Structure formats: structure tokens, C-alpha cells
Amino acid sequence: MKTDSPPPQSRLRRLLPDIIKSGAALLITLFALTILLKPPLFKSDSPRVTYTFNGNTYTNALLYRPLAMPTRYYIQLPETLAGRYRTFAVDRRREVAALMTNELNQTLLGLPAIKRSDSLGMDLEFRHLDGSVWNVFFLPETILFSNAVLTVRLDIQ
């Protein structure tokens, strides 16, 4: 009596699917860890950003939102105003508005990125700059921070 048994498989051929699955899981884990530690920034139109400087209101500021950080916003003005105001960070959860002391110059896969461990910058609340105090307001549908020189407004809706 003759039985048709399948030909014996090599050990590598049996382990190859498990090796591929393990490699894919490792790549996904490394990618997630990279995004967790250094989330890329994406341009966003929401919330709407306006700023007032020298009595004129502008809407050309860039708004960035980091991946995996839904309550954080980064606002980059098109040029440095009054010699120091260019990039701001806002965290709605902690109710903090800060003047960033460094530019958004880091990248991840060609996108601007931040390091999660870096500080937001110089907290504006109760800070004296240009001879006036910064006023910071976190309202249900608006975030507003201003001093005698500059006013920045984020309208959530």
C-alpha cells in the first residue's frame, strides 16, 4: 500500500512566515515609538488663527498640529515680529501658551517634527515683554494671548 505523503519541508520554509510576522511587528513597533518620541507636525486649518500687529489683523500664520497630541498647537508667524515673536506653542489641556525659544527646524520623514521631551518654550502668562504683561485666556471656543505689541487668537469653531 502506497500513501501520498507531502514532501518534507525545509526548516527555513516552515519558519519563514513567523520570521516575516516578527519582522513586521518589530518595524511597526519602531515606527510607533519614533512617532511617540518625535511626533511629526501637520499643517492644519482648524482652529482658525489670526494675529494683530501694529493695528493690522492678519490670517497668514501657519498652524501645525502634532500627530498623537490632539490638544497641542504650534503657530508660526510668516516673519519675526518686534525682533522676537515668531513661533508659539499652545497646549489646551494644560492651558499654556508659550513663546518658543527655538524654531521648528527638526524633521521626521521630511515633515517638520518636535521632540516630545523638549519644553514648550517661555510661558507667556504673567511674563513682562516689551513693557507690558501678556494676557492669556482659554475660553471654550477661543484661545487668546496678547500684550501691547501682538495679539494671537485661535478660534476653535
Q: What is the tens place of the pLDDT at every residue in 11-68?
A: 888 889 999 999 999 999 998 888 888 899 999 998 999 999 999 999 999 999 998 8
142 and 108 together in one domain = yes
pLDDT surpassing 80 at residue 3: no
pLDDT surpassing 80 at residue 82: yes
pLDDT of res. 156: 86
CA distance 29 to 23: 10
Q: Which domain holds residue 17?
A: 7-37
Please report whether residue 90 resides in a domain. yes
Percent of the chain scoring above 90 in pLDDT = 55
Please report whether residue 2 resides in a domain. no
| 70-79 pLDDT, tens digit each | 899 999 999 9
89 and 144 together in one domain = yes
Please report whether residue 130 resides in a domain. yes
Tally of domains within the chain = 2
pLDDT of res. 27: 95
| Sign (positive or negative) of CA dihedral 38, 31, 40, 143 | negative
pLDDT of res. 12: 80
pLDDT of res. 14: 85
Q: Answer for the pair 120, 143: CB distance below 8 angstroms, yes or no.
A: no
| 94-123 pLDDT, tens digit each | 999 999 988 887 878 788 888 888 888 888
What are 26-34's contacts with CB under 8 Å, separation 24+? 34/108
How many C-beta atoms lie closer than 10 Å to residue 87's C-beta? 20
CA distance 150 to 133: 11
Please report whether residue 99 resides in a domain. yes
CA distance 129 to 29: 44
28 and 101 together in one domain = no
85 and 11 together in one domain = no
